[in-house]
Structure 1
Amino acid sequence: MEPAEFLHHFAVYGPVTGAAVFPFDLASTVMVAITTYSAVVSHRPGRRAWTLPTVGMVGTLLVLPIYFVDANLAMLDPAFPPEAVHTTLTDWYRWNWVRAGLGPASAASACIALIVGRGESGSVPETITPK
């Protein structure tokens, strides 16, 4: 795709994509933070393990103001030079991989926190047997 064509495409779809993805990032961060807070204040087993997924999800939100807001606004500016698209996208992709990596890493560490919490409590979930 030619740089000028990309800028037009980004102007149409970039904001819509961001508006669709951001609420999920925010909701995921809030939910894992609530889970962490609940585990810590109730002194549940494995509560420290919840720190990692919380930090990871907060990281996904922090890269927005650290990099993406300015980069995206620059590419939405009609005066943005098409010859700068390649360099900007090289940086954009690098930051996007950081952000995209933090999400699954946070999900995996949340699963580990669940397992650690269950292992430390020594409890085995009861099964319901039909009568």
Structure 2
Amino acid sequence: MAGDVKSDNQPYDDINITPMLDLAYVLLVTFIILTTASVQGVKVKSPETQAANNLAKPQTRAITITADGGVYLDAYPVDMEQLRTSLAQYKSANPALPVVLKADASAQYEKVMQVLEVAKKLDITEIGLVTKRAAVE
């Protein structure tokens, strides 16, 4: 009897690492998917506000204005005519087209007004302005 108990408690000669490798591969794939699924865009320094952040709706188009006055539609550089044409196509496909305007805090006000005029002429009423939450003192 005592000999049988000793044989059951013998240490293993090798360790099965297959489950650990499976977990490592799952974590790696999850990390890759999460990092590549982030929204592509142009990096700007957003102005700060105390207002609550509004969440973007599905099929929202992002217009970005950089500090040097460059205008981007969904991370693609456009001029005002290209912006008008592209937004008109999106508006025809979705009459309630939501648009988010993300301008650098030091962008020219005139450029922002030109983009808003294009949206107004196309009767785009769902426009959100992207800001950064200011630190509360």
TM-score range, shorter chain: under 0.3
More helix by share: 1
Q: Which protein has the larger Cα radius of gyration, Structure 1 or Structure 2?
A: 2
Higher relative contact order (CA 8 A, sep 6+): 1
Which has the larger share of strand?
Answer: 2
Query: What TM-score, normalized to structure 1?
Result: 0.24
Normalising by structure 2, report the TM-score: 0.23
